[in-house]
Amino acid sequence: MFSQYKKALISVADKSGVVSLGRDLKNLGFEIIATSGTQKLLSDNGIEAIKISDYTGGTESERVKTLSQRIAREILETGEISIVVCNLYPFFEQEGKTLNEMIEFIDIGGVTLIRAGAKNYPKVGVVFSPNQYDDLIKALKEGRFDEEYRLNLARQAFDYIAWYDTIIAEYFNNGISGRNFFSTGAEIFIPMRYGENPHQRANFYLNRLLQKKFLIHGGKELSYNNILDAEIAIGCAMEFEECACAIIKHQTPCGVAIGDSLSEAYERAYIADSVSAFGGIVGLNRRVDKETATRIAQIFYEVIIAPDYEPEALEILQTKKNLRIIQVSREILQPVMFRSVFGGILVQESDQKDFTEWQVVTKRAPSPYEAEAMKFAWKVVKWVRSNAIVLAIKGRTVGIGGGQTSRVGAVEIAVKNAGPQTAGVVLASDAFFPFRDGIDAAAKGGVSAVIQPGGSKRDQEVIDACNEYDMAMVFTGFRHFRH
């Protein structure tokens, strides 16, 4: 049964809305106990509040403010403090600080207050967000502050402190090495109308620090599928030091290119597969200029994502009312990736490996032109779903085959997509060729050089096939599977 005591404890780092809340609680007959900073704010606004050190007979220090046996007993046991209003030090908002500085933003007492109040929800109600204050007061006035209401507050409170602790754990454990437990400190960022399909519910959750690095400058509401494709688009474009553009459909690159300017890179990526580009997602690795924006605005796209935009470029793109315009920094690409399986989570490091040298295994070594084209294709193929094949000329894809259950099938699709563009074409394969049939299919498509991991039991057969066609082939020694 709910405690009849009318005491409220207020201890907040985020003081927005607390004056109005304090006034409402006083009008409802509550005695207010508050930490020194909050108590001063309330008193300065004419709201009587007892300083917590006076209430407990103790003293506040920089690190110890609310921890006391009396406070704990009156929340956790007796329920004499029937409302707890507490939010935590903003650890999640700190950037560029040393470890010793960050430690001072780890809240101890606040977490204890929230946990104690949530555990004793039959007697105590806990709120932590200014967004909850109005409904709390309404519930008190309307007689809705019952056990069911307080249980719902407790659910939200446990979620809040779990999220807070996870943010801290992520800070201390960058990556996955040596971790026995895994969680993510993401919080709801974009509520979505639906997921991959209209009958699936979905939300986009993002770490609060990363939310500052993910800006939306206009367009329709982002969809679940938009975000999946946008990550591939910016990730693929960011692979390159040169000006680069990647156009994506259904998480698969349809055109990728580099150029001397961003507009040239975009134009080359577009002509790589102009049919598939329609309605796609454009990723760019440089600040978007006016010329590039003008060209992009001539075609229908769902999303454009880039690290920055010139003001004139942004104005041009914003004339396309439905075009979603996203700005992200490189830090948004995380070193760890994970997915849900069987109710658990698979976690792995992001695929950031690149070769420093390769092994020429055929009689003919690649020409300088072929070598440059192969390096380019190898960077692209890791962003294509396995089995993945990329056909490219220097600095531009011409045909992509991905997501196939046989490697030769992926080659045949890439060759078909390339059409008549056969002069100087090289091939990148994300994994080894199990048979020579993939090389035979590549030769029919005019491929002159191949880059692949090697490692098949039939490597020699594949090498022999390349020699028959006077193809150059190199082994990288590692694969780029993507599922």
Q: What is the CATH number of the domain that holds 470?
A: 3.40.140.20
Cα–Cα distances (Å) from 342 to 202, 339, 345, in that order, read 18, 10, 8
- Identify whether 193 is part of a domain: no
Predicted structure pTM score: 0.83
Are residues 147 and 20 part of one domain?
yes
Out of 6, 15, 250, 394, pick the active-site residue. Answer: 250
What letter would DSSP give residue 77?
A: T
- Identify whether 180 is part of a domain: no
Are residues 21 and 65 part of one domain?
yes
- What's the pLDDT score for residue 63? 47
Are residues 413 and 306 part of one domain?
no
Are residues 323 and 366 part of one domain?
no
How many domains does the structure of the chain reveal?
3
Q: Where are the alpha helices (DSSP H) in 215-336?
A: 224-237, 262-272, 274-277, 290-296, 311-318
Are residues 114 and 13 part of one domain?
yes
Are residues 67 and 168 part of one domain?
yes
- Identify whether 134 is part of a domain: yes
- Identify whether 287 is part of a domain: yes
- Identify whether 302 is part of a domain: yes
Cα–Cα distances (Å) from 267 to 240, 255, 302, 363, 421, in that order, read 16, 10, 17, 36, 17
Are residues 167 and 69 part of one domain?
yes
Are residues 148 and 60 part of one domain?
yes
User: How far is 376 from 370, CA to CA, in rounded Å?
Assistant: 10
* CB neighbours of residue 321 within 10 Å: 8
Cα–Cα distances (Å) from 472 to 279, 415, 459, in that order, read 37, 18, 14
**pLDDT tens digits for 100-159?**
888 888 889 899 999 999 999 999 999 999 999 999 999 999 999 999 999 999 999 999
- Identify whether 213 is part of a domain: no
**pLDDT tens digits for 246-289?**
999 999 999 999 999 999 999 999 999 999 999 999 999 999 99
Residues of the chain with pLDDT under 50: 1-2, 62-63
Choosing from 172, 192, 209, the residue where a domain stops is 172
- Identify whether 106 is part of a domain: yes
What SS3 class is residue 350?
coil
Q: What is the span of the domain harbouring residue 156?
A: 7-172
User: How far is 246 from 397, CA to CA, in rounded Å?
Assistant: 10
User: How far is 148 from 158, CA to CA, in rounded Å?
Assistant: 15
Choosing from 330, 348, 378, the residue where a domain stops is 330
- What's the pLDDT score for residue 177? 67
Out of 6, 51, 119, 394, pick the active-site residue. Answer: 119
The tally of CA atoms less than 13 A away on the side-chain side of residue 345 is: 11
Are residues 158 and 11 part of one domain?
yes
Report the relative pairing of strands 425-429 and 447-452 from DSSP bridges. parallel
Are residues 138 and 51 part of one domain?
yes
Task: Determine whether 119 is an active site residue.
Answer: yes
Are residues 374 and 308 part of one domain?
no
Are residues 116 and 13 part of one domain?
yes
Choosing from 172, 190, 209, the residue where a domain stops is 172
- Identify whether 308 is part of a domain: yes
- With tokens 């890791």, the residue in question is 382
